[in-house]
Amino acid sequence: MFAIKRAAGLCMALALTSHGTLSQAQDWASVVAAAEKEGTLTLLGPVIQPYRQAIEQFQKAYPNIQLQYTGVTSPEFEARIRNERRVNRYLWDVTVLGFSGSAFTQQLPEGWYDPIRPMIVKPEVLADQNWLGGFAAGFLDKKQQYIYAFQAGKQNNVNIDRSVVPEAELSSLEDLLNPKWKGKIAILDPRTRGSGHLITLLQTTLGTEKAQQFLTQQQPVIAATNRQLADWVAQGAYPITSGLSPSEIATLKDQGLAQSVDALKTPPAQTAWTPGWGAIALLHQPPHPNAAKVFINWFLSQPAQADWAKRGFVNSRRTDVAPGLAASALSAEAFQKGLTFNSEANADKAQQATELAQKALQ
């Protein structure tokens, strides 16, 4: 009798599971049908061509939803949305961009975004095992509702020409304060927002006094642009640099340059990671909400993320996606214990470091 009841229970459980799966499929089919009825998805995304190409694959996956893609830089995005909000225009569904302090100090408080969390419904997208640190660890805002980072890579704040500076002489952030490196370090201008987070990292991990000491006593040479800094690295003008991303260093190496330049290895708690251009948000009052829902779930799926990582030479947070750039791949420990200065929790730290640099480098 017990065996019969147990078998009946198993059959009921299987039936409920099948019904749930069928119900989910029917619900999703309804969302897709509604999206196709809307017929359009409006998206603000990176101007960088490989990222655009990855996003444009949505058109092939859902040919009945017309993708209207506009490439913008972060400053252009801010100016566009701010001007449109002044006249109560809501033209965009989704944005895929890089987010910094102003997203949390200005944009979120001003209501630029609607919660993206309720839009994410696909079970394989929500599964914790599919994401570095678990699914929820991707949210950059404190409420874990609005801005989602699907990408994460080491920031590699310090790059060193090991043909000039052996590891025995410089193997930690603290070593940057050694007087022997005075005038031999080139960095992007830390007085400008978004120009690298070396000072933020130093101030956060070593303290304000040592960050200020680095700026005033080490006399770092200031590069005005990434291009200038890249030229210096290629020419071997300075043995220690900060500001170029792992992909920029990899590009130089592919060209046969900077062959002995490597990133400073840091312990997990001193490792800075960044989502780069890899974060997604839902704009307030999206004109095509169902199309936005379809896109968000498609874009965060394994195939779309694998394509994004491969085309862009970057690393998705999805654990079932191969790194697009192995040199900046994060371990689970480095992601868990490390720091990102693109989050709401650390937005004030980046601002404090900028202000420190502005005072120290007057």
Q: Are strands 40-45 and 66-71 parallel, antiparallel or unpaired?
A: parallel
Say which CATH architecture domain 156-271+348-360 belongs to. Answer: 3-Layer(aba) Sandwich (3.40)
Q: What is the CATH number of domain 2-152+275-330?
A: 3.40.190.10
pTM over 0.75: yes
Helices 208-217 and 198-206: crossing angle in degrees, nearest 10, is 130
All structural domains of the chain with their residue ranges:
2-152+275-330, 156-271+348-360
Is there a common fold for 2-152+275-330 and 156-271+348-360? yes
Q: Give how far Cα 45 sits from Cα of 56, 64, 76, 97, Å.
A: 10, 21, 11, 6
- Taking alpha carbons only, the member of 246, 247, 293, 257 closest to residue 37 is 293
- Dihedral (Cα; 287, 288, 290, 292), 10-degree rounding: -100
Give pLDDT tens digits along the chain (362 positions).
545 555 555 555 455 454 556 677 789 999 999 999 999 999 999 999 999 999 999 999 999 999 999 999 988 999 999 999 999 999 999 999 999 888 999 999 999 999 999 999 999 999 999 999 999 999 999 999 999 999 999 987 899 999 999 999 999 999 999 999 999 999 999 998 766 689 999 999 999 999 999 999 999 999 999 899 999 999 999 999 999 988 889 889 999 999 999 999 999 999 999 999 999 999 999 999 999 999 999 999 999 999 999 999 999 999 999 999 998 999 999 999 999 989 999 988 888 999 999 999 98
- In sequence order, which residues have a C-beta less than 8 Å from that of residue 310 and are 6 or more positions away? 322, 324
Angle at 183 between CA 177 and CA 185, to 5 degrees: 65
Two tokens at 265?
A: 């290895």
Distance of CA 110 to the CA centre of its chain: 22
